[in-house]
């Protein structure tokens, strides 16, 4: 049984990346390994991200234009999280909005250039009657 999946992101500066994820995104450091650190784990709401000190692979030149995401986080309340991140000065590459796939989402560019999407499901509500509809009945 799989209980959780944790992405492993590469960074050349573990302390800077930890500070960003703690101060801007609200994650807590679960531990670092070696001094200076070469590996670290952060978590928020029991979901972890691992960081390894290594040169990241060369990014696709169209990464930002094509919005090639590095991770997607399903969240309970995208509006509340967006407000929290805005107050923390996070850089958004896509502002909060309703998507055609019935999600309310936004995208963040982190300190290492990764694109992180955060979204919550939007409940579909059937058509409502308007005054003109009721009058025609």
DSSP string of 87-109, one letter each residue: HTTPPEEEEEEEETTTEEEEEEE
Grouping H, G, I as helix, E, B as strand and the rest as coil, residue 85 is: helix
> What domains sit in the chain, N to C, each tagged with a CATH number?
1-56 (3.30.1900.10), 67-123 (3.10.180.10)
| Mean pLDDT (whole number) for 7-27 | 97
Q: What is the pLDDT of residue 32?
A: 98
Mean pLDDT lowest for which of 66-70, 119-123, 131-135? 131-135
Q: What is the pLDDT of residue 26?
A: 98
- What percentage of the chain carries pLDDT values higher than 90? 80
Two structure tokens written together for 14: 């573990």
Tell me the average pLDDT of the chain.
90
Q: Is the peptide bond before 36 cis (omega within 30 degrees of 0)?
A: yes
Tell me the per-residue pLDDT of 71-128, one tens digit each, with 9 for 90 and over.
999 999 999 999 999 999 999 999 999 999 999 999 999 999 999 999 999 876 666 4
Q: Which helix (H) or strand (E) holds 73?
A: strand 71-74
Q: What is the pLDDT of residue 127?
A: 60
């Amino acid at each position: 049984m799989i209980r959780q999946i944790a992405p492993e992101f590469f960074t050349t500066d573990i302390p800077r990346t930890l500070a960003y994820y703690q101060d801007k995104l609200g994650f807590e450091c679960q531990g670092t390994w070696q001094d200076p650190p070469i590996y670290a784990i952060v978590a928020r709401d029991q979901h972890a991200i691992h960081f390894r000190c290594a040169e990241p692979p060369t990014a696709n030149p169209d990464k930002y234009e094509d919005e090639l995401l590095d991770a997607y986080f399903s969240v309970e309340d995208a509006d509340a999280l967006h407000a929290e991140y805005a107050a923390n000065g996070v850089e958004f590459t896509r502002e909060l909005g309703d998507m055609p796939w019935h999600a309310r989402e936004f995208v963040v560019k982190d300190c290492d250039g990764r694109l992180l999407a955060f979204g919550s499901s939007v409940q579909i509500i059937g058509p409502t009657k308007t005054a003109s509809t009721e009058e025609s009945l």
